[in-house]
Amino acid sequence: PGRFKELVGRSQFIAELTLQMLDQSLRHCLVWQAAGLELSVSINVSARSLADSLLADAIIDRVSASGIPPCRVILEITESAIMTDLSTTLGTLARLRLKGFGLSVDDYGTGFSCMLQLSRVPCTELKVDRAFVNGACQSTHLRVLLESALDIARKFNLRVVAEGVETEDDWMLLRNLGCDEAQGYLLARPMPGWQLLGWWDEHAVRLSHIA
């Protein structure tokens, strides 16, 4: 995706790609649900997509038709995308949030937003960028930045996901700081959705030990 997503994001095909990824994700969710795993799924949404009211309608309609509760579909928006045209995106985000979708601010800490702007966005989650997480257990400066992000999230009553967790030491630091969730190679490498159930059966004990 790193080879083409930026190019597609600037084209007229971004809406079609977003809906294709949504359809695939919903199909995976149904399989996981049938196997007894009540999991949520996160989907990236571009800045251009946020200005497309028709795309928002299509997302709402497809999730409703799938039978997957909207609360288990989290739409990830980068911090910089939100701040590119805040007035345009707020209406779309508010509609999606009112329909029950989760809204996540991705790569938090890499943009230049202020707390006032962030307070206007009806988000439910902050994803702290890996630059502030990876190696934080060994860096006082990173720990201070991480604590600051967690403190802001608590004040806004937001769930926090730490990206780039690769070592148990970093994970233990996050646990001690009260972080809600982690994402990174310590837990799993990226994989196709159809592999998840087999991976879960193989790693459930290890993950329970980490948790």
Mean pLDDT for all residues in the chain: 88
pLDDT value of residue 27: 96
pLDDT over threshold 90, residue 103:
yes
The CA-atom distances, in angstroms, between 43 and each of 55, 72, 136, 203 are 14, 11, 27, 24
Q: What is the DSSP string of 31-70?
A: HHHHTT----EEEE--HHHHT-HHHHHHHHHHHHHHT--G
pLDDT over threshold 90, residue 2:
no
pLDDT value of residue 66: 95
Q: What's the mean pLDDT in 111-125?
A: 72
pLDDT value of residue 82: 65
Share of the chain above pLDDT 90, in %: 54
108-23-1-38 Cα dihedral, nearest 10 degrees = 50
Tell me the pLDDT tens digit for each residue of 76-90: 987 666 666 667 778
CB 31 within 8 A of CB 66: no
pLDDT confidence band for 10 (50 / 70 / 90): confident
pLDDT value of residue 23: 96
pLDDT over threshold 70, residue 114:
no
- Could you tell me which residue, 152 or 198, shows the higher pLDDT? 198
Fill in the DSSP letter of residue 2: T
Q: What's the mean pLDDT in 154-172?
A: 92
Tell me the pLDDT tens digit for each residue of 32-64: 999 999 999 999 988 778 777 888 999 999 999
**Ramachandran angles phi, psi of 206, nearest 5°:** -60, -45
SS3 162: strand
pLDDT value of residue 12: 81
